[in-house]
Amino acid sequence: MGRRVKSERYLRELRNMGCLLCGTVPCGEVHHLLRVPDTRGMGLRSPDKWAIPCCRRCHHDLHMDGNEKVFLAMRGVDAVAWATDSWEKFNE
């Protein structure tokens, strides 16, 4: 597995954005995607480059649903594409 990519500055920026699911501004939280191209070990959070802005309510609902991929797809969100694009823009 590659090195863990962390950026508190990036996470602060995401927390100030609107929730990717409902639009609440600022969202105040981030969700680290569970199924991403980078591998991760059990009990380890995904790298920060795979975080998306997510308000507390949507974040809770996402985890309670139990199927991240379906939960996001039902809301028309391609979170992997969004996270990839956002991370690249942040690091330009």
- Mean pLDDT (the chain, rounded): 90
Residue 4 in this model has a pLDDT that exceeds 90: no
DSSP symbols for 10-71: HHHHHHTS--TTT--SS---EEE-SS-SS---TT-PPPGGGEEE--HHHHHHHHHH--HHHH
pLDDT, position 48 = 93
Q: How far is C-alpha 26 from the geometric centre of its chain's CA atoms?
A: 15
- Where exactly are the structural domains of the chain? 8-33+44-90
pLDDT, position 92 = 87
User: What's the N-to-C CA distance of the chain in angstroms?
Assistant: 24
Q: How far is C-alpha 6 from the geometric centre of its chain's CA atoms?
A: 13
pLDDT, position 1 = 42
Q: Burial-class residue 58 by CB neighbours within 10 Å (0-12, 13-18, 19+).
A: buried
Average pLDDT over residues 47-65: 96
